[in-house]
Chain A
């Protein structure tokens, strides 16, 4: 039941792009002396990416369960 689709590759690029943009934004905010907002932004970025991949993580655990017949 292991599926490899092109959709997943797109997701990887999307996450990479988000990472780049958020790290640049983080740098700009830190330069402007807004450390707290920079930290908050990083946290928000992590949450957004987590929401994107949570289905895939669920799928991974399902696959592991099937593979080891749990």
Chain B
């Protein structure tokens, strides 16, 4: 009986610690992901501005130069656009963002920035698209600032919270 209790206590402790650390990891990853999204948007901007490629090609070209999860976002959007099984660029972009969002550490506000960007992609001339890309970029910069603030406040907290709440649960159940 004693051994069984010990095993159970260990399992609860490990599980709650893992939960705390995974939440902390989300806080840690969000600023980095926002930064690489910014560089992806900058690349896309120069692709459209200087190379004046059409959107699917520009997306694929930027995706080729990137690594990490942003590559998946752009690749997916480019694929959806290229194969023509979606009704509009906006819809393709939305689908790609949803797919990317579920695998990333981004918050709902970050996703809204991306979705808003998709509304103006591919429906207007070059200058207008550039303007919207710049707008999204500046919004992402602001999101990154708040994300950094959140990280410094919450990362350590969630680690402690996981470990200690596991300890409390074990003590209550013993």
Q: Which residues of A contact B (CB under 8 A)?
A: 14, 17-18, 21-22, 24-25, 28-29, 31-34, 48
Contacts and interface: CB of A to CB of B under 8 A. Distances in A.
Contact of B164 (A14, A28, A31): A28
A48 B169 CA distance: 11
Given A21-B171, A32-B153, A33-B153, 13 more contacts: A18-B171, A18-B172, A21-B164, A21-B167, A22-B168, A25-B161, A25-B168, A28-B156, A28-B157, A28-B164, A29-B157, A32-B156, A48-B172
Please give me the 3 A-B residue pairs with the lowest Cβ-Cβ distance, nearest first: A32-B157, A28-B160, A25-B164
B1 interface: no
Contacts of B167: 17, 21
Interface residues of B, number: 13
Contacts, number: 33
B165 interface: yes
Contacts of B157: 28-29, 31-32, 34
